[in-house]
Amino acid sequence: MTATRTIIKTQVGIVGGGPAGLMLSHLLAKTGIENLVVEMRDHETIRNTHRAGILEAQAVKMLVESGVNGRVLTHGDEHAGIDLRFNGESHPLDFTELVDATVTLYAQNEVFVDLAAARELDGGDVRFSAEVTELLDLETDTPKFRFTDAEGTEFEVHCDVLVGADGSRSFCRRQIPETNRQDFKIEYPFAWFGILTEAPKSSPELIYANSPHGFALISQRSETVQRMYFQCDPNENVDDWSQDRIWTELQRRVDGPDNFQLKTGNIFDKSVLKFRSFVREPLSHGRLFLIGDAGHTVPPTGAKGLNLAFADVKVLFEALDSFYATKNDTLLHGYSDKALKRVWKAQNFSYWMTSMLHTPVGGDPFMAKRALGELETVTSSRFGQQYLAESYTGWPHG
Ligand code: PHB
């Protein structure tokens, strides 16, 4: 078989063509660093994978300033705050007034579509539906990987640097010897039931609701399509949930004396999102570097996943740029430590938002009351509001 394997030589080999891998590929190509992206899934599957939709201003800036395109500005929806709802009452947080920052609601699949189009326009080498089977020589100056494309043709890629951008079930991550790695993780005893519905917006801002029946998030996609979630059992079966049952459940989680009513409509997508907190340390091994979900996963409550992936991309891109400009690998060696500082801040924020807003399973009344005390503390103090607003809108890059 080896005789038939086609050798490809490139500078940076990127395993994974989701937003993180494509963003890195785009930035590298713009500075003249040759790279190849290999992605297991097909374009259509990634385009239809629904993920969180909040971009920090810095992520928006990366898309716009690197010349991906301006769709995020024309089709994205800038949000200057969120609404924290508990005890049936609304507590609006105004990010502009608190920390002079905003976020942009722009679905992650749109980010993927934009990046994939930009790579295609620039003649980037992105192979979809191609399975990586082996990583080789990670501890040398010429790491390699093997993949089989959709036609069954086998390739071996020789590069200077290999990047694992292959998501939360990362193949690359598992190739690092056990003696050189440590995993930190927690599981949560609940999940999110997510829906897409043809309905008008229920409220101008996103609503994060703590209720005795569990958490709910009222998010948006456009004037006519909305995204909503409610806390559920990780083993919940979507087929057990009729449209009426879903609307009743969502409504009772936002009920209150203000008589707030959700605007309902046809539900055309239902899914259960399991979540966990996970960090791999270090985020590198030899010449292999992990970015995005391949290196760390956050629960979706703080919408940090994609933002954190883009922050990794920025740090790694700067290190690679310096490596090719100077042949000095000091920044590459520092990648893991530098990226992990932000990763742990985001882990803390995502865990904190999750624990404050969800109803503890098993119904421990003390913990439920404690969370309400925390929400009261945060919303009644300007410092508390600023702490949440600063974390939500994103700490400065670098
Ligand atoms: C979403 O719109 O999908 C969304 C928004 C905010 C979150 C999580 C998900 O915190």
Ligand 1 site, residue 306, Cβ cutoff 6 A: no
Angstrom distances, CA of residue 37 to CA of 129, 200, 246: 11, 39, 40
Q: What is the pLDDT of residues 4-29, one digit of tens each?
A: 899 999 999 999 999 999 999 999 99
Ligand 1 site, residue 301, Cβ cutoff 6 A: yes
Locate the domains of the chain by residue range: 2-79+104-186+277-353, 188-275+362-393
User: For 75-102, what is the mean pLDDT?
Assistant: 98
Confidence tier at 3 by pLDDT (50, 70, 90): low
CATH number of 2-79+104-186+277-353: 3.50.50.60
- Report CA(159)–ligand 1 centroid distance (Å): 37
Percent of the chain with pLDDT over 90: 94
Structure tokens at 364: 């421990």
Q: Which of 300, 314, 338, 358 is catalytic?
A: 300
Ligand 1 site, residue 219, Cβ cutoff 6 A: yes
- Report CA(193)–ligand 1 centroid distance (Å): 12
Reply yes or no on whether the pLDDT at 52 is more than 90.
Answer: no
User: For 99-110, what is the mean pLDDT?
Assistant: 96
Q: What is the pLDDT of residue 364?
A: 83
Q: How many CB atoms lie within 10 A of CB 352?
A: 17
- Report CA(186)–ligand 1 centroid distance (Å): 21
Q: Pocket of ligand 1, candidates 50, 106, 111, 206: which has the most ligand atoms within 8 Å of its Cβ, to mutate?
A: 206
Reply yes or no on whether the pLDDT at 165 is more than 80.
Answer: yes
DSSP string, 175-205: TS-GGG-EEEEEEEEEEEEEEEEE---SSSS
| 188 catalytic residue (yes or no) | no
Residue nearest to atom 4 of ligand 1 (CA): 52
Q: What is the pTM of this model?
A: 0.97
Beta-bridged to residue 125, according to DSSP, are 36
Determine which helix (DSSP H) or strand (DSSP E) holds 232, and give its type and residue range.
strand 225-232
- Report CA(52)–ligand 1 centroid distance (Å): 4
Q: What is the pLDDT of residues 366-398, one digit of tens each?
A: 999 999 999 999 999 999 999 999 999 999 987
Tell which phi-psi region holds residue 259, choosing left (phi > 0), alpha (psi between -120 and 50) or beta: left
CA distance 253 to 159: 52
User: For 75-91, what is the mean pLDDT?
Assistant: 97
CA distance 21 to 11: 15
Which superfamily, per CATH, for 188-275+362-393? Answer: D-Amino Acid Oxidase, subunit A, domain 2 (3.30.9.10)
Percent of the chain with pLDDT over 70: 99
Residue nearest to atom 3 of ligand 1 (CA): 52
CA distance 166 to 173: 9
- Report CA(300)–ligand 1 centroid distance (Å): 7
Termini Cα distance of the chain: 46
Reply yes or no on whether the pLDDT at 201 is more than 70.
Answer: yes
- Average pLDDT value for the chain: 96
Q: What is the pLDDT of residues 221-265, one digit of tens each?
A: 999 999 999 999 999 999 999 999 999 999 999 999 999 999 999
Reply yes or no on whether the pLDDT at 2 is more than 70.
Answer: no
Ligand 1 site, residue 164, Cβ cutoff 6 A: no
Q: What is the pLDDT of residues 166-197, one digit of tens each?
A: 999 999 999 999 999 999 999 999 999 999 99
Q: Which of 19, 26, 79, 314 is catalytic?
A: 79
| 324 catalytic residue (yes or no) | no
C-alpha torsion sign, points 70, 74, 75, 79: positive
| 304 catalytic residue (yes or no) | yes
Determine which helix (DSSP H) or strand (DSSP E) holds 270, and give its type and residue range.
strand 266-281
